[in-house]
Each structure stands twice: as structure tokens, then as C-alpha cells.
Homo-oligomer: A and B are copies of this chain.
Amino acid sequence: MAASFVEEPEAGPRSKRAAILTAAVDCFGETGFEATKWSTVAERVGIGQTALYHYFESKTHCLLTIMRLELQRSHDKFTEATAGVDDPVDALRSAVGAAYDVSDQEVLQMRILHNHMDLLSGTRKSKREEAERVAARQLVQVVERDWTNLLVRGMSQGAFPLRDAQLLGASVLGLIVSVWRWYRPSGPTPLSEISDLIEDACVRVVAM
């Protein structure tokens, strides 16, 4: 099942694409997508607003790109964390741990991603936006499959009781990502503590 690719523009040496993405993540993550003016992102990068359109077709196109990149990262992280871990419970713990092993910038990206999941439903008008949307939507399914497969494997090995893996997978994923709604790096609860609690909770949900 080959994924439809969005040709990642290779960075010319003068390209500000990466800088724009970083600035956009900061702005969208802290101020919120709707609340941040597109021109503010331009300012922060140090270019005129219209220069943004050299790199992204629209503000939304930039957002969708951020979301897709984050989904790709999540999937890669999951794969890496579970590769070669045979025991299902260990794999589950490792996967949950990996989900919370993120930098502050990635926390913002997670927040952005989950605050705008609804964008992935309806089709977009312009070509490149729609391409990003489809790619992102596909990655969502890939990530969901990651988790469901993990559960299916555990169930068939007898490590987890038999349940609707699809539904349970979605629930576990929901439990994990719900944290990004409220977690703030500056807040009172360290991420490690959250990670441990959720990890245990996931094991109880799945393996008991």
C-alpha cells in the first residue's frame, strides 16, 4: 500500500521554508491558528507577507503541512519504539513512552495537529492543499493502524483479552493524545509523570 507522496521541496540554500514552518509552529501553537495573522509569521521570519506565498499556497496549506509532518514523525517514532520488541506489553509501554518523548517544539506541533483534526474531513479547493490534506488523512489511518495492529498482535498472542481492536485502539490513542489539549511545558506537572501515569493506564485498559 504505497502512500501518496507530497514531493518535499528540496531546500535551496536561500530557502526560508524551514524558518517559516518553525515560526508558524510557534505562532499557531501559542496564539492559535485563527488568531495569528499570517503577516505576523512573515514578520517573525523577516520577510514581506506576500513572500510566504512563494513557499505555501495559503495559510491553511502551511497548517496542513505542519500537521502532516507531525503525523509522519509520530508514525516513525512509533515504528522505532516498537521494532523488535516481542512482548506485547513491553511494546505497548515503549510506544506510549515514545509518544511522550518530545521536544517543546513538538508539543506545539501536537497541539496544532489535534486542534485541527477536523480540517482533514472536508476536501480543499486548491491542489496542493488537498494533496497535503489527503496525505495527512492517510497518515492518521496509518497511525491508527499502528496501534490497532499492536493490540491485535497482543490479543492473538493471548497477552491481551479479546476486544474490538479498532475501537480500543482509537480509545487508547484518544487517551494518549488528549494530554496535548492541556499540557504546557511551563505547567506544574512534568511530562515524565504524565507519561508514567498514562502508560500504566493504557496497560490496564488493554491488558486487563
Contacts and interface: CB of A to CB of B under 8 A. Distances in A.
Interface stretch (A7-15, A85-93, A200-208): A200-208
A137 B107 CA distance: 22
A167 B197 contact: yes
Interface stretch (A18-26, A97-105, A168-176): A168-176
Interface residues of A, number: 34
A193 B168 CA distance: 11
Contacts of A111: 118
A174 B181 contact: yes
Contacts of A177: 178
Q: How many copies does the complex hold?
A: 2
A194 interface: yes
Interface string A171-198: 1011101110110000001000110011
A171 B178 contact: yes
Contact of A175 (B163, B174, B193): B174
A194 B167 CA distance: 8
A184 to B, nearest CB: 10
Closest 8 CB pairs of A and B: A174-B178, A175-B175, A204-B204, A201-B205, A204-B208, A167-B197, A115-B118, A32-B118
Given A174-B178, A174-B181, 18 more contacts: A32-B118, A32-B121, A35-B122, A163-B197, A164-B193, A168-B201, A171-B198, A171-B201, A174-B174, A174-B175, A174-B179, A175-B175, A175-B178, A177-B178, A178-B178, A201-B205, A204-B204, A204-B205
